[in-house]
Amino acid sequence: MNILVTGATGYIGGKLASRLLQAGQAVTCLVRDPARFAAPPGAQVIGGDALEPASLDRALAGRDVAYYLIHSMKAGEQGFEERDREAARNFATAARKAGVQQLIYVGGLGSQDDELSSHLRSRQETGNVLRQYGPPVTEFRAAVVVGSGSISFEIIRYLAERLPVMICPSWVTTRIQPIAIDDLLDYLCAAANQPRTRGEIIEIGGSTVESYRSMMLLYAKARGLRRYLLQVPVLTPRLSSYWLDFVTPIPAAMSRPLIEGLRSEVICRSSKASEIFPQLHPMAYDQAVRKALARKEWAQIEAICEPPPLRDGNPQHLLAESQGMIVDVSEREVTASAHQAFRVIEGIGGKRGWFFANVLWQARAGVDRLFGGVGMGNGRRDPDHLVEGDTLDFWEVEKIEPDQLLRLRAKMRVPGDAWLQFRIFPLDEARCRLRSTAFFQPRGLTGFLYWWVLYPVHVLIFWGMLKSIASRSEALRSSP
């Protein structure tokens, strides 16, 4: 089957493209800027924009099924409803002209009998436009998607992590039926092979009906946090959105329309999903949360959090936060080979110290020992070489790849999980770029305060340490 996935740079679209490829489908991703898109292996990429009709013909030619996952909210709140309608009209018209057999779309749950927010109303209007102008449409209507990276889930994450006591408006008890990202992808993939879905509106959700209150409390329980929610009658969704802008890093253009929709009850009122897909059994919310919080493979973490190597020749420092992980990156170019730089990195710690501000490292170890931690431990097993599982002062070697990477996991007492990673990007036989990355996954408000209170010290230490590693590497190159 020849499939086109739009919105592949978004949360659902990116995961859907990978899932379809794993199932052996021929997948093409339509994106506005192919040069900035990291396509999943095996996918074809075509540039195009649903707001520019002439750019769609090539992308839709020869496609059997097209997934419509485009949303205009990222461009800003002002006028996003009209942009959504125009984009849907353009795409549906071009799809019908190209002979596409089926459009599959993800809209929003909510009854027309209720007073829907502009966001939910726009989601449903988009489905109507696709049906009016395009080939047969399968429209799935869903509420909050539970998965690490979903904006709705990230809002819950930040609120539950950062606020031990939350003052909540009355709509915090509004009923909602969230769905796990894996279950949503199961429905989307199955629909392409199920002719019965064409022309249908299918409401989908998890196996439990929750409220925003229960969703935050169940998240807190999964993280081992104690949270208190105090309900008041006067806090409107608009006022809540301003507070959300202050507490979380979610862009206001994305969060505010979502918050405005919190007064609408969004639950499944139809059993059509179980009738058409009896083989699919969506999980409960608490199970979906545990799955979302499960630790990812490091390749996924780095793809989400770390920038690509910076090759402009200048030292760089970057700070980022994504999906509950704070990342502090320091990078600089060094006139030494990757092998020479790695020799220096592999020899860090123990009697040699940490190459910069050793008194601060010793002080941190002393505080750790005072609170029952390992302190500096027993140093290191071998002065020059490391293997996975080795103890390195108050770190443990989690991953080592000669001349490429060393990742250490903190054994000290911290309110969260911490890693320190060194990576080498070879430029040529005599030059490379060195990168040190501190990864920190804070636990609760204490974790966030710990990071930001110590952040100025961390910047000083990690930047100085990387500079010292670069100097030692260049000295090693110059030595006979």
pLDDT digits (tens, 9 = 90+) for 9-47: 999 999 999 999 999 999 999 999 998 888 889 999 999
Is a pLDDT exceeding 60 seen at residue 248?
yes
pLDDT of residue 74: 57
Q: What is the mean pLDDT of residues 50-79?
A: 84
In terms of Cβ atoms closer than 10 Å to its own Cβ (0-12, 13-18, 19+), residue 230 is exposed
Instruction: Decide yes or no: CATH 3.40.50.300 for domain 298-478.
Output: no
| Two structure tokens written together for 29 | 């991703």
Burial 275-307 (b: 16+ CB within 10 A, else e): ebbeeeebbebbbbbbbbbeeeeeeebbeebbe
Q: E-strand spans in 159-221? A: 165-168, 175-176, 179-180, 201-203, 210-211
In angstroms, the CA 309 to CA 332 distance is 10
pLDDT of residue 73: 58
Is a pLDDT exceeding 60 seen at residue 77?
no
pLDDT of residue 171: 75
DSSP class per residue in 321-386: EETTEEEEEEEEEESS-HHHHHHHHHT-SGGGTTSS-HHHHHHHHHHHHHTTS-TTTT-BSSSS--
In angstroms, the CA 254 to CA 248 distance is 12
- Assign 477 a pLDDT band (cuts: 50, 70, 90): confident
- Assign 209 a pLDDT band (cuts: 50, 70, 90): very high
Is a pLDDT exceeding 80 seen at residue 304?
no
User: How many CA atoms lie less than 13 Å away from 155 in the CB half-sphere?
Assistant: 22
Cβ neighbours of residue 81 under 8 Å, at least 6 residues apart? 118, 121, 122, 125
Is a pLDDT exceeding 80 seen at residue 292?
yes
pLDDT of residue 143: 92
In terms of Cβ atoms closer than 10 Å to its own Cβ (0-12, 13-18, 19+), residue 478 is exposed
What are the extents of the domains in the chain? Answer: 2-293, 298-478
The gap from C-alpha 350 to its chain's centroid, in whole angstroms, comes to 36
Cβ neighbours of residue 279 under 8 Å, at least 6 residues apart? 190
CA distance from start to end of the chain = 62
- Give just the sign of the alpha carbon dihedral 37, 40, 42, 44: negative
In angstroms, the CA 421 to CA 81 distance is 44
Report pLDDT digits (tens) over 98-117.
999 999 999 998 876 666 77
In angstroms, the CA 142 to CA 155 distance is 17
- Assign 372 a pLDDT band (cuts: 50, 70, 90): confident
DSSP annotation of 282 reads P
Is a pLDDT exceeding 60 seen at residue 416?
yes
Q: What is the mean pLDDT of residues 349-369?
A: 93
If one compares 77 and 395, the residue with the highest pLDDT of the two is: 395
Among 16-25, 71-80, 166-175, the range scoring the smallest mean pLDDT is 71-80
Superfamily of domain 2-293: NAD(P)-binding Rossmann-like Domain (3.40.50.720)
Burial 122-152 (b: 16+ CB within 10 A, else e): bbbbbbebbbebbbbbbbbbbbbbbbbbbbb
